[in-house]
Amino acid sequence: MPTGPSLIDRARLQDEFLELVSISSLSRREGAIARRLEVILKGMGADVSVDDAGERIGGDTGNLLARFTGTAPSAPAFLLSCHMDTVGPAAAIHPVVEGDIVRTDGTSVLGGDDKAGIVAVLEAIRVLRERTIPHGDVEVLLTISEESGLMGAKHFDAGRLRARRGLVLDVDGVSELITRAPAANRMTFSVHGWSAHAGMCPEQGLSAIQMTADAIAAMRLGRLDAETTANLGVIQGGLAGNIVPDRVVVRGETRSLDPAKLARQTEHMRQCFEAAVASRSVRVGGREHQARVEVEVHHQYDRLDVPDGAGIVTLVQSAAAALGRACPTRATGGGSDANVFTTRDIEVANLACGMREIHTVNEWVDVKDLVLTAELLVEAVRQNAAA
């Protein structure tokens, strides 16, 4: 079927991208873009529903699920999912077009993360329908609050999906498939010491800052191996230079493609804090004060681990080959909604969709990459029905 002139309407794709990135959609504030996307998807012939995830997480819209009825009745349903929210700064976005490149005026992110994925999905479905290319049911799931901890995906009832297989489009690069992504734990350490006047009686204090320093000095952080990372990102504590500080709060995380390594590093970070406060006490006015640490571990998400022989991988690679391209698999260090869907028994991988330098005001997109991604989706959905 493919090769020959592109089926993609490049001008339509670019116009839609410019329109959608111009609509501000910070996490929990996706209402405006959700309403616009609902109109677009209904106009394309989809049944659209919005769930109650927004109410449950304090947002102004829920996840949007659009179902396009298949034209090849026996073909399996296919999921295409992107997120509607963006990180900031993004109160107002002014896209600037220079040739094939779209960036911003430098005052905000572009929001190609993840609107590059959304426009590729919309354009691919338009082409499938205009060209009457046989396809099974296509379910388009546009989530909220991915950037604030995959909250929309976590609150989505995956039992509503017919598709057992599909793609998340939410990673930088183009024509690459992310099949491995780490599991992550977020951690908060609250170190409790005892305060005292720093000049008159420092020996009556237990410095939470000093104990925290001891803990961190003993800790393995950064890139621990090819699969595992750890970071402390926030330290808060102390009141004044002349007070022995009685409290420090440290926030951090660890991630690993290997669940055993994730557990081991989490335990290591806990142990460093516990060792630093162990048997540290002070006696003041006949009372013994023992230093202590409270450790909170929040398991953010499970890993994504799709084997290279999985159906979704061979489908996408076969579609790419039909277009004369390669689509190698790779691992990433970041989580996405795919990490959630994979735990709901949906076979998903994360397809690169042309976003670049994401989460910065230098973010940009090459429209040619949007075209390549839309072409790959058309062919993947076509082959999914032909199989």
* Amino acid found at 93: I
DSSP conformation class of 159: G
**Would you call 123 a catalytic residue per the annotation?**
no
In the bound complex, what is the minimum distance in angstroms from residue 374's beta carbon to Zn ion?
A: 18
Kindly tell me which of 118 and 377 has the beta carbon lying closer to Zn ion. 118
Kindly tell me which of 16 and 170 has the beta carbon lying closer to Zn ion. 170
Q: Which residues of 31-66 are buried (b: 16+ CB within 10 A; e: fewer)?
A: bebbeebbebbeebebebebbebbeebebebbbbbb
Residue 363 in the binding site for Zn ion (CB under 5 A): no
State the Cα–Cα distance between residues 129 and 132, nearest whole angstrom: 5
Kindly tell me which of 194 and 301 has the beta carbon lying closer to Zn ion. 301
Please tell me the chain's helix, strand, coil percentages from 3-state DSSP, rounded to the nearest 5.
35, 30, 35
Kindly tell me which of 246 and 363 has the beta carbon lying closer to Zn ion. 363
Q: Which of 38, 123, 146, 375 is catalytic?
A: 146
Using CB under 5 A, which of the segments 51-59, 164-172, 196-204, 237-245 binds Zn ion?
Answer: 164-172
In the bound complex, what is the minimum distance in angstroms from residue 265's beta carbon to Zn ion?
A: 25
Kindly tell me which of 128 and 150 has the beta carbon lying closer to Zn ion. 150
State the Cα–Cα distance between residues 123 and 39, nearest whole angstrom: 15
* Amino acid found at 116: A
Residue 30 in the binding site for Zn ion (CB under 5 A): no
**Would you call 85 a catalytic residue per the annotation?**
yes
Sketch the per residue contact string, 67 through 106, with Zn ion: x for CB under 5 A, - otherwise.
Answer: ----------------------------------------
Using CB under 5 A, which of the segments 22-30, 56-64, 113-121, 225-233 binds Zn ion?
Answer: 113-121
Among 170, 172, 375, 379, binds Zn ion (CB under 5 A): 170
Kindly tell me which of 169 and 372 has the beta carbon lying closer to Zn ion. 169
Among 30, 51, 85, 114, binds Zn ion (CB under 5 A): 114
Token pair in block for residue 366: 């090459």
State the Cα–Cα distance between residues 204 and 217, nearest whole angstrom: 24
* Cβ partners under 8 Å of residue 337, min gap 6: 81, 83, 143, 146, 150, 152, 153, 168, 170
Q: Do 219 and 268 form a contact (C-beta atoms < 8 A)?
A: yes
Residue 337 in the binding site for Zn ion (CB under 5 A): no
Q: Which of 30, 38, 51, 85 is catalytic?
A: 85
In the bound complex, what is the minimum distance in angstroms from residue 240's beta carbon to Zn ion?
A: 41
Using CB under 5 A, which of the segments 133-141, 170-178, 262-270, 365-373 binds Zn ion?
Answer: 170-178
In the bound complex, what is the minimum distance in angstroms from residue 289's beta carbon to Zn ion?
A: 46
Among 113, 137, 172, 176, binds Zn ion (CB under 5 A): 113
In the bound complex, what is the minimum distance in angstroms from residue 193's beta carbon to Zn ion?
A: 40
Kindly tell me which of 38 and 113 has the beta carbon lying closer to Zn ion. 113
State the Cα–Cα distance between residues 94 and 202, nearest whole angstrom: 55
Backbone angles phi, psi at 305, to 5 degrees: -150, 85
| Beta-carbon count within 10 A of 121 CB | 25
Token pair in block for residue 305: 């681990």
State the Cα–Cα distance between residues 384 and 167, nearest whole angstrom: 12
The residues binding Zn ion (CB under 5 A) are 113-114, 170
Active-site residue list: 85, 146
